[in-house]
Amino acid sequence: MAKRADKPVYSFIRKGNVLVPELDYDLRALDGVANGQRVRIEIREWRNLDRLRAYWSLLHEAVASTGMSISAEKLHEVIKLETGLVDLIRLPNGMTVAVPSSIAVDRMGEPEFIAFFQSAEEFLARVYGFVSERSEAA
């Protein structure tokens, strides 16, 4: 089954009581919208990309430092299962199974990601005895 195309995401910056397009790409999103026309928007704050990079760096560091035989991507799936970041699915036979949920921006806000990241660090320390060198320095 083909994945449905995601809707484009446009970025606007608040200046007083006005939303200003961040880039020309975002401005072009307004083509065809008349002045005074009412539009629907969904307000979402952008994810902190440095934090997301730090999370993936942590996973790669954990795999390399502990000699785990799994990849950072597989460790990510394990962490989601072990920290309860799951969707419960009822199978046709009535059995319910947990499948890893998503940390995608449209599925998880920044406060939830911060809590998940902390849970991941705690899991790695408890189960694998791994604490990132960056965490130790902090």
Q: Coil, strand or helix: which one is 129? A: coil
How far the first Cα of the chain sits from its last, in Å, is: 46
> Is the Cβ–Cβ distance between 64 and 72 less than 8 Å?
no
> What pLDDT does residue 81 have?
96
> What pLDDT does residue 102 have?
92
> Pairing relation of β-strands 96-100 and 86-90?
antiparallel
Each residue's pLDDT tens digit, 18-54: 999 999 999 999 998 999 999 988 877 777 889 999 9
> What pLDDT does residue 51 have?
92
> What is the set of domains in the chain, with CATH numbers?
49-137 (1.10.3790.10)
Quote the CA–CA distance of 61 and 67 in Å, as a whole number: 10
Which pTM was predicted? 0.69
